[in-house]
Structure 1
Amino acid sequence: MKHVKALAIKFVSSLVLLSLILGLLFDMAFSNIFLITLVLGVAAYLIGDLLILPKTNNTIATIADFGLALFIIWIMSENLTYGDSHFLMSLIAALGVALFEYMFHKYVANNVLPNKGRQQQTRPLQYQTEASKELTPVRQDVRSSTEENKKPE
């Protein structure tokens, strides 16, 4: 049930965000925005939130989500709409998605993933070191014989 709730939050938030960026700023149709949000939401949740985030940290997962969002939005907008290159539009939308994903990863780490956000040690680490007077052992008979032979007169 936690995954369904997280997916719903991600889908609704991404739909609103992409509607503002792609719909209002770049005049894209809502049906295309809905399709892009659906594909991006499922792919980013599976790859970024469930695969990359548990193994790395929030920053790495956000960078991966930025690349994935840029690729998906760019490819789908090129294929769904007519016009010039949509790379700048995709870059701006991917930056918005990455900012949202940074905050969403904190929610996923604390509420969905087991023990990712709540890592606690049972006791603090106690390191111990050993110290000695000399770094290397020196045999007394070798040292004393060489020192006696080299004394100046």
Structure 2
Amino acid sequence: MSAPSKQRLKELLTWIADIEAHKGYPISKGPKNPDGDIPNEVFSALKYLADHGFCQPEYLEQHNDMRWHWAEPVRITSQGLDWLSADGGLTAEKRTLTVKFDEEQFRALLIAKVDQSDATEEEKSKVKEAISKGSTVVLQAALTEATKAGIAALPHGFQWLQKLFVG
């Protein structure tokens, strides 16, 4: 059995998500074969979505005779809504790593780096003043760039990461 296409899954899940119109997806009102039966692909797609936690059928089982047995409706889960969401919803937010730096501590680190430079005292003074007056947005951008540069400049980066994460 192969997985249904993502496009088909999104279309089906979008239909399921339309709670106002359907109060959950009534399988019996969905697509039908010319003979009036519900296509196996619909049941397979629903089962696939349910197995991944994107929807919750009232009951959906394929019995030994390969026939599907179900009870209506099928409702979308919060994980399913997040999958349909352009920004990934709360699921994406839960996977976000937040690192907090004290602004003054970070400013002090930047100023210390300026002091270590070979620049003239006049140049150092201008940069240190700009750092001291810089907005939080500018500091966040500086922190992102400093982190990227720091990781890129790690000597023996692979070995360091291997030791840190693998042991």
Asked if Structure 1 and Structure 2 have the same fold, meaning a TM-score greater than 0.5 normalized by the shorter chain, the answer is no
| Structure index of larger Rg | 1
1 or 2, which has the higher helix percentage?
1
- Higher relative CO (CA 8 A, sep ≥ 6), structure 1 or 2? 1
